[in-house]
Structure 1
Amino acid sequence: MKSSELETMRKSFNTVKNRSDSIKDSHSSKRLIKLVQEVKKYSIEHKNELFDEICESFRRNDIDVKFAKTSKDALDYIDALLNEYDAKVIAKAKSNTLGEINLKDHLNIEVIETDLGDRILQLKKTDNKPVHPTGPASHLNVREIAKIVNGSLDAKVHENPREIMEFVRSDVLKRLENARVGISGANAIAAEEGSIVMAHNEGNISIVSLKDLHIIVVGIDKIVPTLEDAISVVKLETLFATGNYVTSYMNVISGPSKTADIEKKLLKNMYGAERVVVILLDNGRSEAIEECLYCIGCGNCIVHCPVYNSVGNEFGFNNYLGGLGVAMSKFIEDDETCFNSGLYMCTLCGLCTLNCPLSIPTNEILENMRKLSTDIGFYPKAHGKIKDNVSQNNSPY
């Protein structure tokens, strides 16, 4: 990353710090932290039971459910669905999971990002990796963004945030007029109710879910017991990601759009999607160290990480940024990817753990991975051994 981008990113991070610091030590926030810690612990310990329950609940709610062992499996499901709907353009919401499976690189049809930050990065075309889970373009200042929009869309917007926002919004809505398919991730899913919870500030997920088909790709680590638990997870993520108690919107999807207001006859596709398909993604999660699965995606670890603040998104893997992203890359990809994502960049200072609402011991996980890499003489010739060793023990401790 350029020095100017790092400076802008750090300024953005300081804003988040100041907001979250003012509320995260309140009594209600501490109670929420404790609750979510208990929810995640229970969910991981009972992951097989909850998986079976969520599949049954989805089917009861008329939601199609698929299980994808690998990213290829997920992409194959998506390809089949897009062919079925003869999709020419897709409305996409922000999703780290879709970044994980490299959806946009895989597809040969137009994918329109509906989140403003992600759309700006999409228009940037090169060096467009996000820098924060909820603020993907936090490293770009208004001058750079105006230049990107003008260059990509043949526009003449001034260096004015509102003018840029209104132009991009208008362009996105125009491009999505004939879209039949929307695709998104999810923040949490409730096993008992068969409900998917998605948080956003812009209202864009509502647009995505109004298409004929709504595809939701979500990691199996997002399954929690109940809707109340799911909402608690989303609230905590919001608090640490943005410094706000709650987002502007929290969509809860528990089935396709339907009405029975005419003679009590069930009709689908009133305003929202006629069909909802959830793809539950494993992609290494069942083999991952359990502590990694506690992550709620708030990004507070990278906000406080001295390495990340010095080098930016070079430290991490795809949309999974910082030390925990490095750790997860071992299970999502392989040892070589983990090494190249920054296994030895971490200073092991522990600030990530101190500022993580779930107290994930990322520095200890990486330290143990380094030890394993040393023990086996890691280089490509030892490919796969670290992953196998850690998976067999299921914990670095």
Structure 2
Amino acid sequence: MDPKELESMRKSFKTVENKQNLLKNNPQILKFKEEVQEIKKNTINRNKELQEIAINSFKRNDINVLFASDGKQARDIIFDIISQEDETIIAKSKSNTLGEIGVSKYLGDSRIEVVETDLGDRILQLKENNNKPTHPTGPASHLNVAQITEIINNSMNLNIKANAKDIMEVVKKDVKEKIAKCNIGLSGANAIAADEGSLVFIHNEGNISLLSLLKIHIVVVGIDKIVNNIEEAIKIAKLETAYATGSLITSYINIVSGPSKTADIEKILLKNMYGAEKVVLILLDNGRVEAIENAKECMWCIGCGSCIVTCPVYSAIGNDFGFNNYLGGRGVVMSKFIEDSKTSFDSGLYKCTLCGLCTLNCPVSIPTSQVMEKIREMSNNEDLSINNHETIKENIKNKGSPY
């Protein structure tokens, strides 16, 4: 990672860490930590049962539910829906799950324009090289105002000054103009409430609200995000907000439980008022069932990114430590199941120092270093090794060892 970008990232992370520290002893947050830990443990243990409850609830609410066993199947489903509507441009919100399956590149290669509506993601989209995010909720944390200004001016043929407000206004105007051409919105979700058949979204920018008003709203969610009910989902949303941004509450919490409808005329149910005419939920496995069996603790994650903010390895090398949108040690562990085993090696299986700071700063106390050791043992038993280790072995074999 570029030294200037690392410096900007560390500065951004320090700001988040300072704000987090002001909240960590807040009685409400401490209470949420205990409750959410139990919620995640319970719901991951009951995941298969909750999937069935959720699917039935969504069908009752007129939400189309499809299951994708892997990233390719999820991408194909998304592409088919877009093709059936004959669309060439769609609007997308920030989503680690969508980043996991590489949907933006896939659609772009298929000549479908994807408009990133989150400011940070849009900046990275306009960046020519190495546009991998550095934080799950602050994807452009590694870029300073001057760097972002250069990206905006070069990509949009402008000459604005290095001012955060000006950057925001220019990007907002451009994105809103593009959204006006879109009929399909694509997003993830922060939680699924199984009992009610509801999708819960948290955001600060208001962009998911805009996407949910388009003709079709496609939502891709990992099966690990299913909880019992809305009350549990809101607790997770509030805890995630506190640890991700250092704020007690996010600007928006959206709950979607079906397509747009009204009954204001003689209580006659009419569909397709202001919001989406069709809501499609894609439940994604993509290695999660296997991860639940072998690294269950990593599935407790609520996606706040607190682990990487204080990770010494991540501070030293940045987003080279991780896999796609899964960053840091937990991301490396997940890559073992989400992709082939070689990916987890190449993205840092032996970079982790097992210091345990990630666990100390995790709101649900994921024992990442313990899981990392387990994955290393699994890999050794499978007689797998990383490319660098093979190179070192060959060098020793060819040149001899001094010992």
**TM-score, normalised via structure 1 length:** 0.94
Q: CA deviation at 1:380?
A: 7.7
Aligned residue number for residue 392 of structure 2: none
Q: Does 1:167 pair with 2:170?
A: yes
1:276-321 deviation digits (Å, cap 9, x = unpaired): 0000000000000211100000000000100001100000000000
**Residues of 1 paired with 2:257 and 2:24: CA distance?**
31
**Residues of 1 paired with 2:205 and 2:225: CA distance?**
22
Aligned residue number for residue 340 of structure 1: 346
Q: Does 1:366 pair with 2:369?
A: no
1:247-288 deviation digits (Å, cap 9, x = unpaired): 000110011111122233322221110000000000000000
Aligned residue number for residue 290 of structure 1: 296
Number of residues paired by the alignment? Answer: 381
Residue type matched to 1:331 in 2? F
Aligned residue number for residue 393 of structure 1: none
Q: 1:4-43 to 2 correspondence within 5 Å? A: 4-43=4-43
1:266 counterpart (263, 266, 269): 269
1:134 counterpart (128, 133, 137): 137
1:209-231 deviation digits (Å, cap 9, x = unpaired): 11100000000000000100001
**Residues of 2 paired with 1:19 and 1:67: CA distance?**
39
Q: Does 1:319 pair with 2:322?
A: no
Q: Does 1:98 pair with 2:98?
A: yes
Residue type matched to 1:356 in 2? C
1:152-203 deviation digits (Å, cap 9, x = unpaired): 0111211000001000000011112120000000000100001100100000
Structure 1 unmatched ranges of 5 or more: 382-397
Aligned residue number for residue 144 of structure 1: 147
With 255-264 and 28-37 compared, the bigger mean Cα shift is at: 255-264
**Residues of 2 paired with 1:355 and 1:380: CA distance?**
29
Kindly indicate whether the alpha-carbon contact (under 8 Å) linking 2:342 and 2:386 is maintained by their aligned counterparts in 1: yes
Residue type matched to 1:52 in 2? E
Residue type matched to 1:161 in 2? A
Q: Does 1:178 pair with 2:181?
A: yes
Aligned residue number for residue 357 of structure 1: 363
Aligned residue number for residue 2 of structure 2: 2
Q: CA deviation at 1:46?
A: 1.1
**Residues of 2 paired with 1:92 and 1:71: CA distance?**
17
Kindly indicate whether the alpha-carbon contact (under 8 Å) linking 2:66 and 2:283 is maintained by their aligned counterparts in 1: yes
SS of corresponding position for 1:252: strand
Q: CA deviation at 1:124?
A: 0.2
1:115-168 deviation digits (Å, cap 9, x = unpaired): 000000000032000000000000100000000001001112110000010000
**Residues of 1 paired with 2:379 and 2:79: CA distance?**
37
Aligned residue number for residue 307 of structure 2: 301
Structure 2 unmatched ranges of 5 or more: 388-403
Aligned residue number for residue 124 of structure 1: 127
Root mean square deviation of aligned Cα: 1.1
Q: 1:109-258 to 2 correspondence within 5 Å? A: 109-258=112-261
With 82-91 and 177-186 compared, the bigger mean Cα shift is at: 82-91
**Residues of 2 paired with 1:40 and 1:372: CA distance?**
25
Kindly indicate whether the alpha-carbon contact (under 8 Å) linking 2:32 and 2:239 is maintained by their aligned counterparts in 1: yes
**Residues of 1 paired with 2:128 and 2:192: CA distance?**
32
**Residues of 2 paired with 1:74 and 1:252: CA distance?**
23
With 310-319 and 40-49 compared, the bigger mean Cα shift is at: 40-49
SS of corresponding position for 2:376: helix
Q: Does 1:67 pair with 2:67?
A: yes
SS of corresponding position for 1:186: coil
SS of corresponding position for 1:135: coil
SS of corresponding position for 2:23: coil
Residue type matched to 1:305 in 2? C
Residue type matched to 1:324 in 2? R
Q: CA deviation at 1:366?
A: 1.1
Q: In structure 2, do the counterparts of structure 1 residues 250 and 173 end up closer, same or farther at CA, with 3 Å as the change threshold?
A: same
Kindly indicate whether the alpha-carbon contact (under 8 Å) linking 2:345 and 2:386 is maintained by their aligned counterparts in 1: no
With 303-312 and 77-86 compared, the bigger mean Cα shift is at: 77-86
**Residues of 2 paired with 1:52 and 1:369: CA distance?**
30
